[in-house]
Structure 1
Amino acid sequence: MGKAKKPALKLLPPDWREALWRQACEPQWRESRPQLLPALAILWLTGCRSAELANGAHVAVRGDYLLIRLKGAKCVDAEGRERGQPTRMMGFAIDAEANPALKLLHALSAHYAVDGTAQLTVTHDKDYLYNSIVQLGKSTFPRLRTRVSPYCFRHQVASDLKADPSVSLEDAAKVMGHLSDYSIGSYGHAAHGRKGQGGRVRAPFVQAARPIKHSPKVDRLSRFKLASAKRRDHKQG
């Protein structure tokens, strides 16, 4: 599914997440699917898997800082070896210019406070979430010939991370819930990233349960890209 959703970003407008959000804020959507908007907020901010959202995303707010804790969905492979991150956390600053997804989670969390910390758990059945976002996409982009799914958010977050030179591969792997810094290569494309503006939301704090493994493939790929760029420059010169 992941590779199938990667090219879907080519057909979506740059502000597709904002457009979906505005549509989901309409009264008919909020009344018929009250869990959808908080789920969209988590997807927009974290790019998590639907199965991870089904496990429950824990949100905590203290002052002007919001923390999202996710429980990983792919932590071992078929042979019982470590794969992915059992848990990961991302922290976001909240101010007057904050992303609408952050503002929504901040407002919802305010209803549940323990010892000065507002808390909220966002959860959503993954099959119902998939169907809801597909229908939301059709309603928002009736002429679009590709299907918008929860995984589009994951690929978009990966694209945003790749487009931001200040984000290390290690931190990108933590955001995505990967165990290796090579795995993000299967998600998104820098050309589709939001380079720090608009729908892009930077998490100044990210933490994962397991250390990120560095893959030699990353170094080989970097050398290949550098050599290819030099050849292109030589031909153009």
Structure 2
Amino acid sequence: MTQYDRNLFKPAGNDPSAHVNACSGIDGPMPDLFHESLKAHDFAVLSNKNFSFADLYKSGTWQKYGYRAAALARNHPSRDPFIAYLANDQHQSWTGANSRQSYRSALVRLAARDVLELAPGYWRLVIAEADDDAARRQFIRQLEPHVDDETRARIRKVVQAPSPSDIKKLKRAVEFLIQVPPDPDHTAVRSGATGPDRQASKPRSATSKKEALYALNQHQRRKSKSHSGYNWRDQFWRVAVMPDSHLDNDRRACIAALMLTGCRPSELSADLGVGVSALEWAGLAHLAFKIAGAKLAEETGEVHGKGQERRDIEVRCQTPESEWLFAYVMEQDGGQCFLGMPAPTHSQNGMPLMPTERRRRVTGSLGKLIGRLGKVAFPRLQQRLTPYVFRHALSSDLRAMGGIWGKDDVAAALGHQSTRTQTHYGSTNTSRGLTGSRAEQVARISGIAPVRSPDRGPHPAALKPQTPKA
């Protein structure tokens, strides 16, 4: 007897009369699945290269993986997310490369979990039921290079034979991992599985927001020739937001804050929210915003530089949405209020939703709302208006102010901790020469953390005085 099969298996399930050989219900030869499971186990270990399962649970990402798998299963006749993914990949029916990437990441990690959990029991069963000692030793020799000490201990501790359903589950996960190997560094995950006559779907990126902003500014330039002072943001507020009978004032206030501060849509979730105070200085109406940042990486109670934990923006009320929001806030207790869109705390099956999932739902809800209102205000606009268009617009306005606001100020306004990130938002030339710039009413910008600048000066050696040659 070997170190792996000293203990006899208990029957699968609670029925003592159940047959020990749980593999009898599996189609195909046993050695094939054994060899494939070793290869899949290596892939499963590789998938944990950057983030462990514990990391995924802690961040709430694992719950999102479950939602994505369930969504794929619902939309396929087999109700199997792995088959649904492979079918979509074969027919290139993804809505975009980002969609394909998110589903691939989810299913690879789910398959890896199944392999890591079920493979030790299956290997134990194969070794225990080998025909003779020679075959048993052969299985062990093939197994040894693929497992570490922890996995060996798990194999030895298995005392109950896996059920046929467990082995079918393992077989399904093994087949998927072999067909779709993990790509933990995302070096090739965005390239679709395309044939020679197919093209990979184009990824959605910040370019689409910039194109929408460019189209809106071009629209404003054309309109201003016949309507002096025309501004697309004024048009959006007056034609779409204010007359909409389906909007309550709370959501109008959120849209106004989005237009004035360029905050991320997730920052308008009730988990974070935007605090607003109405102030009057020297007879002028002001709004002071306190925005809780969404792009943070929290570890052991400390915030590590993905973005500003909090930022303050103060504006003078000179535009339609700012004047309306000032009146709205003045009606609240103490002339201040908290803006945040609620999200469900539990899923339809009663599972609690992680904060990241609640914020994602607020982002989606606000995106659909802005898209619908954009079609009302600009029915001929080919690009889709999104919440991020206002974020790009504010960045463009601030950067086009001729040096009034520096790179550090723009970064703080956008909630960044580095001046490099703002290069992805808007363009200095996009808003140049246009009336109605929202940056003209910005009075103060500050962030809770100092902004880093990636720009480096000359090397110290280059600053040393040079000795003149004789």
TM-score (norm: length of structure 2): 0.42
| Pairwise CA distance, 1:212 | 0.6
The question of whether the paired residues in 2 share the 8 Å contact of 1:24 and 1:36 is answered with: no
Choose which of 246, 256, 259 in structure 2 pairs with 1:41: 256
| Pairwise CA distance, 1:26 | 4.3
The ranges of structure 1 where at least 4 consecutive aligned residues each deviate by more than 6 angstroms after the TM superposition are: none
The gaps in structure 2 that reach 5 residues or longer are: 1-204, 221-230, 342-361, 459-470
Choose which of 337, 340, 343 in structure 2 pairs with 1:123: 340
The gaps in structure 1 that reach 5 residues or longer are: 221-237
Matches within 5 A, 1:3-152: 3-12=207-216, 13-14=219-220, 15-27=231-243, 29=244, 31-34=245-248, 35-54=250-269, 55-63=272-280, 64-76=285-297, 81-94=304-317, 98-114=318-334, 118-124=335-341, 125-152=362-389
Relative contact order higher in (CA < 8 Å, ≥ 6 apart): 1
2:444 maps to amino acid: F
2:424 maps to what in 1?
Answer: 186
When residues 146 and 164 of structure 1 are mapped into structure 2, their CA distance, relative to the original with a 3 A threshold, is same
When residues 207 and 195 of structure 1 are mapped into structure 2, their CA distance, relative to the original with a 3 A threshold, is farther
Give me the whole-angstrom Cα distance separating, in 2, the residues matched to 1:134 and 1:37. 14
When residues 83 and 164 of structure 1 are mapped into structure 2, their CA distance, relative to the original with a 3 A threshold, is same
2:454 maps to what in 1?
Answer: 215
Give me the whole-angstrom Cα distance separating, in 1, the residues matched to 2:442 and 2:434. 11
The question of whether the paired residues in 2 share the 8 Å contact of 1:159 and 1:189 is answered with: yes
Determine helix, strand or coil for the equivalent of 1:69: strand
The question of whether the paired residues in 2 share the 8 Å contact of 1:17 and 1:199 is answered with: no
Determine helix, strand or coil for the equivalent of 1:6: helix
Aligned residues: 210
When residues 8 and 25 of structure 1 are mapped into structure 2, their CA distance, relative to the original with a 3 A threshold, is closer
1:139 maps to amino acid: V
Give me the whole-angstrom Cα distance separating, in 1, the residues matched to 2:208 and 2:298. 22
User: Are residues 1:174 and 2:378 paired?
Assistant: no
The C-alpha deviation readout for 1:15-72, integer Å capped at 9, x for no partner, is: 2211111123443x1x212144212211111111000111211101232332001000
1:229 maps to what in 2?
Answer: none
TM-score (norm: length of structure 1): 0.81
The question of whether the paired residues in 1 share the 8 Å contact of 2:213 and 2:393 is answered with: yes
2:387 maps to amino acid: P
Aligned-CA RMSD value: 2.2
Give me the whole-angstrom Cα distance separating, in 2, the residues matched to 1:213 and 1:195. 30
Give me the whole-angstrom Cα distance separating, in 2, the residues matched to 1:77 and 1:194. 38
The C-alpha deviation readout for 1:132-166, integer Å capped at 9, x for no partner, is: 11011112222211100001001111111111121
Give me the whole-angstrom Cα distance separating, in 1, the residues matched to 2:307 and 2:340. 20
When residues 140 and 196 of structure 1 are mapped into structure 2, their CA distance, relative to the original with a 3 A threshold, is closer
When residues 140 and 181 of structure 1 are mapped into structure 2, their CA distance, relative to the original with a 3 A threshold, is same
1:225 maps to what in 2?
Answer: none
2:325 maps to amino acid: L
Give me the whole-angstrom Cα distance separating, in 1, the residues matched to 2:387 and 2:377. 15
Q: Give the share of equivalent positions with the same residue, in percent.
A: 30
